[in-house]
A and B are shown apart, each in its own frame.
Chain A
C-alpha cells in the first residue's frame, strides 16, 4: 500500500462516512474524524515527499498505477498517480493548509446543527480528495477527473447554505463558468490524444516537440482556457467574487489557497507544450497582467471585506499567471506557495471578524476593532503586509521575483511589468484601506463594537500558525543576489530541467536593488495615504446611493462584466431557445406532424361529406367514371 494511496483515499473515505453517518455521530466526532484524516494525510504526504527527496535529483518521480480506467485496443489509460517535486509541493500545501482550515472551521461552523456540520466536513474532505487527485494525476484523464471533481465540491460548498437562493445561484454560476473552462481543457485533451495516441504525461510531455507549432499553440491556448476557468482569469473570473456566498473557511481553502491555483499548476505541469508556442505564452502573460491590474482596481472600491480579498485573490492569481506566462515557472509557483499562506490567513481573519460581529462584513460599519480583537488584528496585519509586498515579507520576495522576470525574463515585456507594478500599487492601497478601516480609527457602529470579542483558540491557533508560516515561507525563495541557498528553486529544478537555463544573471544587482527600493517606496506612500484617508473620523467611504465619480461607478460595478454576461449569455441564449422552442419545435417540426394528421382528417371529412352524400345517382356517376378510368387505362397501357 503506497503511502500516496492513503494520502489520496483517506479523505475520500472520511468524506463518504461523514456524509452518510456524520449526523448521527454528533458534531465532535464528525469534526474530529475530518480533521484527523487530513492531518494523517499531511503526515503521509510529508513522509512520501521526504522519500521523494531522498531520490537522486534526475529521477525524482514516483509513479503509482491504481487500476485500468479505459483499455481500447490501441489505447490504454489507467488511474495513475505521479509524485514529483511539483506535485509533492502541492500535496503538502493542500493537506497542510487544509488541516489548519479544518481546525478553524471546527470553531467557525459551531452554530450549525449536527447534520449540516457533518455535511460541511464531508464536502471539505471530498474537496481535499479532489484537489489531491488533480495534483497527483499522472495523465490528462485523471487530471480532468480531479478538475471536474474540484468544480463539483466548490459548487457544493459555495451553495452550502441551501436555503439561500443567492448561495445556490453563486454555486451554479461557479460550476457553469468552470465548465466553460473545462470545455477548452477537454478539447485540448482530445487534440493531445489525436496527436500522441496516449494521454500519459510521461508519453506526451517529453515528446511535446512532436507537435507542430500551430497545434502547440492551439493546445496551449485551450489548456490555458481550462486554466483561466479554474483560476478565475480574464473573462472567466466572474464566479470567484460571488463564491464568497460560501462559509469563510471554504473561501479560504478553495477560493484562496488551493483550487484557484490549479490553473497555474496545469500551465506549470504542461510547460513543455507552452514553451513550444510563444504566442500561447504571450496570451497567458498578458491575460495574467491585465487580470492582476483590473482586479486590483476593483478591489479598491469594494466595501465587503471578503469581496475585497476575493478580488485581491483574482489579482494575485493574475501575478502567478503573469509569472508563468513570462516563462518564470518557479517564480510563479513560489508566489502560489506564499499566496496560499497569507491569503488563507487573510480570509480566516476576515472570518474571525465576521464571526465576532455576527455576520457583519461591511467595513463602513467597523473601526477601532484592534482593541477588541488584538490577535486577529495582528495576524491580519501580517497577512496584509505580505499581500501588499512590505519588504522582507514573503509576498514581497515572490511578487518582486515575478515583476523582475516580467522585466528581464525569457519572454519579458515592459508593458507587462508596468501593469504588474500598477497592480502592486493598488494592492498596497486596498490592503491598507481595509486594515485601517476595520481595525483603526473610530468605531463607526458602537452597538456592534460593544459586542465584538476575540475568537476562541481553535480559530486563533490557525491564524497564528498561518501568520508564522506566511513570514517563514518567504525565506525559501530569497532573491539570488542575497543568498545562493535557493531551496525552492532547487526543489523544482528537476521538473523544469528541460527548460533553457533562466538567464538569472541578465538582471544586474543595481537594477534589482533599484526596483526593490521603488516597490518599498510605493508601499510606504500608498500605505500612508490609506492611513490618512481611513483612520480619520469621517472615513472616506461614500455612503450607498451617494453620487460618485464615473470611475468609481465603473469599478463599483466590476466593469459591468456580470451585466454583460447576463445579457449576452443568459437572456440572449434563453430568448433564442424560447424562439426555437416555439417556432421550430412547436411550429415547424410538430406543425408538420400535426399538419399531416389534420390533412388526413380533412380529407376524410371531405370524402364523407361531399362524396358520400347518399344520393344514388351520384354513386352511379362515380361508378361510370370508374369504368371510364378502367377503359382509359386499358387503352393507354395497351400493348
Chain B
C-alpha cells in the first residue's frame, strides 16, 4: 500500500509529462485533479494504520539489490505519518499556486512537482538506508529544474548552489552508510542496509562519533542549521511560488525528520556527546535567523530567514532529548510546513499582482485586498507563535524541552519569541497597513476564490492544530517515546516498548 503512495505521484508525473494535455489550462486542471486524488488516497491509507504501538506499520519488503545487501523496505510509524500527510496536503496547494503564474511548459512544471512529491514520500517511508539515500538525492533533481527553469533572475546561481551544497553533505553520508553496512556485515554476517538491522547493531563509540558527524552534516545542510543556511534564501528568492511552497513546506523537513529518525535513532552515545554543540548551533541559528529577517529588503528572503529561525528552534527541541522537546520538534515540522507554506502562498499572490518582491514598493495592501488581510493575520500570528494558532504549541513545547534540558538554552531560545513578533509585525505593517504605497498598490485586486480556497485550508489547519494539538500529539507519542527510550536508557519517561518490529505485514 505504501509503495502505491510512493510511486503513484511518479506515475502521474509521467502521465502529465507525456500525456495528451494540450494547453496550459487543461494541464493545470489535470494536475489539480490528480493531486487531489493522490491526497485522498494517501489520507485513506494513513487512516488505516493504528498507531497505539511504537513499531512500523504497513511494512513492505522486496529484495532489490541482494549483492549490496540493500532491499526495498518501506514502513510507516507515528513520526512519519503526519509528515506524509503534510506532503500530500501541500501538493494541491502548490498546484493551485501555479495556476496562472506558470505559462511556460506547464506540463513539465506539474510533472516535476509530482516527481518531487514522490521522492519526498520515498524519503519519509523508506526503512532501507540505501533506498533512503536514493530518494534523498533524487529529490534534488525535480527541485533543481523547478528553480532552474521557472525561477527568477539569479536562478542559475541559486539552483546550482542548492544542489551542490546538499550534494556535498549527503555524499559524505553515503560513505557513512557504506561504513555502517560493513559494520552490519561484521556483526551480523551479511551486508545489510536495513534500518531495523542497524538499530540493533552495537556501534563502537569512537566510530559512532564519525558516523554521527557525517550524518549530521548532510542533514544540517538540509534543515538548514546556522553555518550551512546560505543556500536557502537564494533558493527561495529565485524559486517559483510552487517551488517555494514545496521547498519550505516539505524539503526542509527531510533534514529534521532524518535527524530524528537516524541521528538520534542510531547513535545514542554520539548524540549525547554532540548535544551541547548542536544546541549552540541551533541557538545561534534561531536568534541569528530572526535578526536577519529584520534587515531584509526582499519579501521572500524575509520568509526564508524566518524558516532558518523556526528550524533552528525545531532542532533545538530535537536535541533536548526530552519528550516535550521531541514532540515539539515534530509539531514544528508540521506547523512550519503549514504556516510558511501559507506565507509563501501569500508572497506568490502579491508577486502575481505586483511582479516584485522589493518591500519598498508595498504598503496599505489591506485597503485594496481586505479578504487577504483577513486571512493573512492568522498566518502571521502562527509564525509569531501566538496561542490559539499552531505556531504557539510547537514553540511552547520546543522551548519547554530546551528549558528542561538546559535552562540557559531555553532562555536564549525564548528571545526568538520577541524577535519573531518584531519581524512579523514589521513585515505585516510594511506590506499591509499604512497608506497605499503607490501605483502598484492601487492596481491590487483582492484574492480570487481559487486563492481563497488554498489559503483558507491552511488557515483552517492553523487554527485546528492550535486549538486541538492533542489530535496529532496523541498518536506520535508512542513512536517518539520509542526514540527517546533508545536515546536515554534510563529515561524519566516510562520506558515505552522497545522498537518492536511492528506488524510484520505483507512481504
Chain A residues in contact with chain B, CB under 8 A? 19, 67-75, 115, 141, 144-145, 148-149, 151-152, 155-156, 159, 162-165, 167-169, 171-172, 175-176, 179-180, 182-183, 186-187, 190-191, 193-194, 573-574, 576-578, 580-581, 584-585, 589-590, 593, 597
Contacts and interface: CB of A to CB of B under 8 A. Distances in A.
Interface stretch (B246-254, B347-355, B470-478): B470-478
B295 A574 contact: yes
B418 A71 contact: no
B422 interface: yes
Given A145-B387, A179-B418, A180-B418, 18 more contacts: A72-B324, A74-B323, A141-B396, A145-B388, A148-B387, A151-B386, A162-B366, A171-B425, A172-B429, A175-B425, A176-B421, A183-B415, A186-B399, A187-B410, A193-B403, A580-B291, A585-B230, A590-B230
21 contacts: A68-B470, A70-B470, A72-B477, A148-B388, A148-B392, A149-B388, A162-B366, A162-B432, A165-B433, A165-B435, A179-B417, A179-B418, A179-B422, A182-B417, A183-B418, A194-B404, A573-B294, A577-B292, A577-B295, A581-B296, A593-B165
Contacts of B407: 190-191, 194
A576 B295 CA distance: 10
Contacts of A67: 468
Contacts of B396: 141, 186
Given A71-B474, A115-B370, A175-B425, A183 B291 contact: no
Contact of A19 (B374, B387, B403, B410): B374
B372 to A, nearest CB: 13
B497 interface: no
A165 B494 contact: no
Contacts of B41: none
Contacts of A593: 161, 165, 230-231
Contacts of A175: 421, 425
A74 B294 contact: no
B469 interface: yes
Nearest to B422: A176
Interface of B: 161, 164-165, 227, 229-231, 288, 291-292, 294-296, 323-324, 327, 364, 366-367, 370, 373-374, 377, 381, 386-388, 392-393, 396-397, 399-400, 403-404, 407, 410-411, 414-415, 417-418, 421-422, 425-426, 429, 432-435, 468-470, 473-474, 477, 481, 492-494
Nearest to B322: A72
A594 B410 CA distance: 34
A597 B370 CA distance: 47
A72 B323 contact: yes
A580 B161 contact: no
A73 B481 contact: yes
Contacts of A171: 425
Contact of B295 (A69, A70, A164, A581): A581
Contact of B473 (A71, A155, A580): A71
Nearest to B301: A581
A26 to B, nearest CB: 17
Given A152-B381, A179-B417, A589-B227, A577 B294 contact: yes
Contacts of A182: 417
Contacts, number: 136
Contact of A144 (B387, B418, B429): B387
A586 to B, nearest CB: 8
Chain B: interface secondary structure?
helix
Contact of B469 (A70, A144, A574): A70
A152 B386 contact: yes
Contact of B386 (A68, A149, A165, A589): A149
Nearest to B429: A168
A584 B161 CA distance: 18
A68 B470 CA distance: 7
Given A152-B386, A172-B429, A194-B403, A187 B411 contact: yes
A8 to B, nearest CB: 13
Contacts of A574: 294-295
Contact of A172 (B291, B381, B387, B425): B425
A179 B421 contact: yes
A320 B473 CA distance: 42
Contacts of A176: 418, 421-422, 425
B331 to A, nearest CB: 11
B290 to A, nearest CB: 9
The 8 A-B residue pairs with the shortest CB-CB distance, nearest first, are A145-B387, A168-B433, A190-B403, A179-B421, A577-B291, A165-B434, A590-B230, A172-B425
A183 B435 CA distance: 32
Contacts of A69: 469-470
Contacts of A152: 381, 386
- Among B366, B388, B432, B468, which residue has the most Cβ atoms of chain A within 10 A? B388
A262 to B, nearest CB: 14
Contacts of A162: 364, 366-367, 373, 432-434
A142 to B, nearest CB: 9
A585 B292 contact: yes
A73 B494 contact: yes
B374 A190 contact: no
Contacts of B470: 68-71
Contacts of B411: 187
A575 B411 CA distance: 24
A591 to B, nearest CB: 9
Given A162-B366, A574-B294, A577-B295, A72 B418 contact: no
Contacts of B418: 176, 179-180, 183
Nearest to A584: B288
A334 B481 CA distance: 49
A172 B291 CA distance: 17
Contacts of A169: 429
A576 B422 CA distance: 15
Most chain A CB inside 10 Å of its own CB: which residue of B292, B295, B367, B396: B295
Contact of B292 (A75, A191, A580): A580
Nearest to B165: A593
Contacts of B392: 145, 148
Contact of A190 (B327, B366, B373, B410): B410
Contacts of A183: 414-415, 417-418
B417 A186 contact: yes
A581 B165 CA distance: 20
A617 B165 CA distance: 40
Contacts of B481: 73
A68 B469 CA distance: 9
A36 to B, nearest CB: 24
Nearest to B425: A172
A556 to B, nearest CB: 27
A593 B421 CA distance: 31
A19 B378 CA distance: 13
Residue of A19, A73, A597 with highest tally of chain B CB at under 10 A: A73
